[in-house]
Amino acid sequence: MIRDITLGQYYPGDSAVHRLDARTKIIATLLYIIELFVVNNFWGFLIAAAALFAVIAVSRVPLKFIFRGLTAVFLIIAFTFVLNLFMVEGRVLWHWKFLTITYEGVHRAFFMAVRLVLLIIGSSVMTLTTKPVELTDGLEKLLKPFSKIGLPSHEIALMMTIALRFIPTLMEETDKIIKAQQARGADFESGNLLQRAKSLIPILVPLFVSSFRIAQDLALAMEARCYRGGGGRTRMNEIKFRRGDAVAAVLMVLFLAVIIASRFITL
């Protein structure tokens, strides 16, 4: 259901991965995503996947949780797979009317699907092991240098904090509204596409009204506590790099070297 979306969800824990500085995890994740596109053969993907699952094992987040995030984007993955399968030109493997599957297409489709899966799992590992507040704090710190050229780093981070903070609230609200309309006999499951789209109105209108109410309440509450933007604000919990982060940095460099080397494996 609606609660299956793990994006931006935190899995409480106290593993080495949880304890890493959020900045380290953000950089590591970005790097990992880039590396996924550096990889160009089977062995590279095997190494990348093994590394990811090693991190998951250390984080002690149950696999069930990690894969739940995948189900939400399964359609996108399937779509890119099919698209790649039929659209790439090359040596013909199979042909039927206007459909052609090429050797290169199969290759590309599989690699792209694996890439996407690893990419999504990789980013969910980051969000699952980092509290949303730490994540946005880390992001704010990382973006700080860019504020010299006019990037509103504090505001961006605040917007993200608020958005992440309100994902569960809005889901709860949606759940409640759906149930309330179901209690009034609303049916969201049957009918054709148009009827189904129409049946969303009783959910969307109250949801919009609620969101505006929640946003207004929040703005008022922030103003009542004299919030005036980022200038001169200090934090209750300063984030700091620790030994674990140094270890992680070394591992990241090693991993990068291995991934680049993997491009030259020919077996």
Partner 1 sequence: MSIEVRDLNYIYNAGMPGETVALRDVSFDVCDGETLGIIGHTGSGKSTLLQHLNGLIKPASGEIIVNGQCITDGKTKMTEVRRKVGLVFQYPEYQLFEETVAKDVAFGPKNLGMEEEEIEEKVRNAVGLVGLDYEEIKDMSPFELSGGMKRRVAIAGVIAMGPEILILDEPTAGLDPSAHRDILAMGRRIHDEMGIILIFVSHNMADIAMLSDKVIVMSEGTIALSGTPKEVFSQRERLEVMGLALPPAREITELIKSKAPAFKSDAITIDEAAEDIKTYLEEARG
Least distance to partner 1, CB of residue 212, Å: 11
Q: Closer to partner 1 at the Cβ: 9 or 147? A: 9
Phi-psi region of 169 (alpha: psi -120 to 50; beta: other; left: phi over 0): alpha
Distance CA 69, CA 90 (A): 34
- Nearest approach in angstroms of CB 243 to partner 1 is 28
Closer Cβ to partner 1, 202 or 244, answer by number: 202
Pick one of 156, 210, 251, 256: the residue that binds partner 1 (CB under 8 A): 210
Footprint of partner 1 on residues 52-71 (CB under 8 A)? 65
Confirm or reject binding of residue 8 to partner 1 (CB under 8 A): no
Which of 1, 12, 193, 232 contacts partner 1 by CB under 8 A? Answer: 12
**Binding mask 89-128 vs partner 1 (x if CB under 8 A, - otherwise)?**
----------------------------------------
How many residues belong to the site for partner 1 (CB under 8 A)? 20
- Minimum distance, C-beta of residue 14 to partner 1, in the bound complex (Å): 13
- The answer to whether 201 contacts partner 1 (rule: CB under 8 A) is yes
Q: Give the separation between CA 136 and CA 151, rounded to whole angstroms.
A: 15
Provide, rounded to whole angstroms, the least separation between the CB of residue 185 and partner 1.
Answer: 3
Contact call for residue 78 and partner 1 (CB under 8 A)? no
- Minimum CB separation of residue 180 from partner 1 in Å reads 4
The residue range among 17-25, 82-90, 100-108, 204-212 that interacts with partner 1, by the rule CB under 8 A, is: 204-212
Residues 167-196 as x/- pattern, contact with partner 1 by CB under 8 A? ---------xx-xxxxxxxxx---------
Q: What is the 3-state secondary structure (H, E, C) of 191-238?
A: CCHHHHHHCCHHHHHHHHHHHHHHHHHHHHHHHHCCCCCCCCCCCCCC
Considering only residues 90, 202, 230, 244, which one is a binding residue for partner 1 as defined by CB under 8 A?
202
Binding site for partner 1 (CB under 8 A): 11-12, 65, 176-177, 179-187, 201-202, 205-206, 209-210
